[in-house]
């Protein structure tokens, strides 16, 4: 009588896939020259003097190899999970399939050694360059994040999993909190590592967020939900209090 759910890390801890990250085309760059990311910063500790941990290099979400790998992995996991969901349905207990959370706070993070914002390789894959930059650098990188989430969830949905049971997982800094204590030298999109609330939405999934206490978090969630028709959402990580 215990419901079963799955939480898939889409891109953070891929150190064992040396076949992927040893290819510079699959690793994000910190400038237009293609300087590879030294590692992804993890700001998991807070407060004065908080330590910044390092994760493997930031994945380039729209490289051809990564997109192919995501498609294969989504199909593999989707078929296996859907087979289990069908077994629950036969037992007349479909409610015991809680769903799938796709992603571990999906974002384009910052470079570990330099703190620079990443995403230049993804931008180059979209046809941009130093001589021909996008009109809005932040918005273009937000599109990269949203399309990566959608690529994952599309594979799961095509394998038979209901989009009503698939959730994204992003973590955003509320606008009210940003106005109070955000870094004034950064844009709101940069502060959110190009994953504001809007990128959590897609055709093949419901939105999901980390919901740690911060002023205005739920206001932002419900403001974004109001722009969509009949969309539920999930708290994928965090506390149950604001």
What is the DSSP track for 92-128? T-GGGEEEEEE-SS----BBTTT--B--HHHHHHTT-
By three-state DSSP, how is residue 1 classified? coil
C-beta separation of 151 from 68 below 8 A: no
Q: What is the pTM of this model?
A: 0.94
Give the pLDDT of residue 181. 74
Give the pLDDT of residue 81. 97
Distance CA 101, CA 76 (A): 16
Distance CA 112, CA 53 (A): 8
Give the pLDDT of residue 241. 62
Give the pLDDT of residue 126. 97
Q: Are strands 166-168 and 208-210 parallel, antiparallel or unpaired?
A: unpaired
Q: Mean pLDDT by 10-residue block, N- to C-terminus, for the chain (242 residues)?
A: 95 94 96 95 73 90 98 96 96 96 96 95 98 97 98 96 97 91 83 97 97 92 92 89 56
Q: Please give the DSSP secondary-structure letter assigned to residue 26.
A: G
Give the pLDDT of residue 82. 96
Give the pLDDT of residue 44. 76
């Amino acid at each position: 009588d215990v419901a079963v759910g799955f939480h898939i890390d889409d891109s953070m801890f891929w150190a064992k896939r040396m076949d992927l990250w040893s290819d510079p085309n699959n690793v994000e760059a910190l400038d237009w020259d293609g300087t590879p990311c030294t590692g992804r910063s993890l700001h998991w500790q807070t407060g004065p003097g908080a330590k910044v941990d390092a994760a493997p290099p930031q994945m380039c979400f729209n490289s051809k190899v990564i997109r192919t790998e995501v498609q294969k992995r989504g199909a593999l996991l989707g078929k296996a999970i859907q087979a289990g969901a069908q077994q629950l349905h036969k037992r007349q207990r479909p409610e015991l399939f809680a769903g799938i959370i796709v992603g571990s706070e999906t974002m384009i993070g910052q470079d570990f050694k330099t703190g620079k914002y990443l995403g230049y390789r993804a931008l180059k894959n979209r046809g941009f360059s130093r001589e021909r930059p996008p009109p809005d650098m932040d918005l273009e990188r937000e599109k990269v994040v949203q399309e990566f989430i959608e690529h994952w969830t599309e594979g799961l949905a095509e394998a038979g999993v209901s989009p009503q049971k698939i959730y994204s997982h992003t973590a955003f800094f509320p606008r009210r909190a940003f106005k109070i204590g955000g870094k004034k030298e950064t844009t709101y999109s940069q502060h959110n590592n190009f994953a504001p609330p809007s990128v959590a939405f897609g055709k093949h999934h419901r939105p999901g967020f980390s919901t740690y206490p911060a002023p205005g978090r739920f206001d932002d969630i419900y403001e974004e939900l109001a722009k969509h028709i009949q969309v539920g959402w999930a708290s994928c990580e965090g506390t149950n209090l604001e």
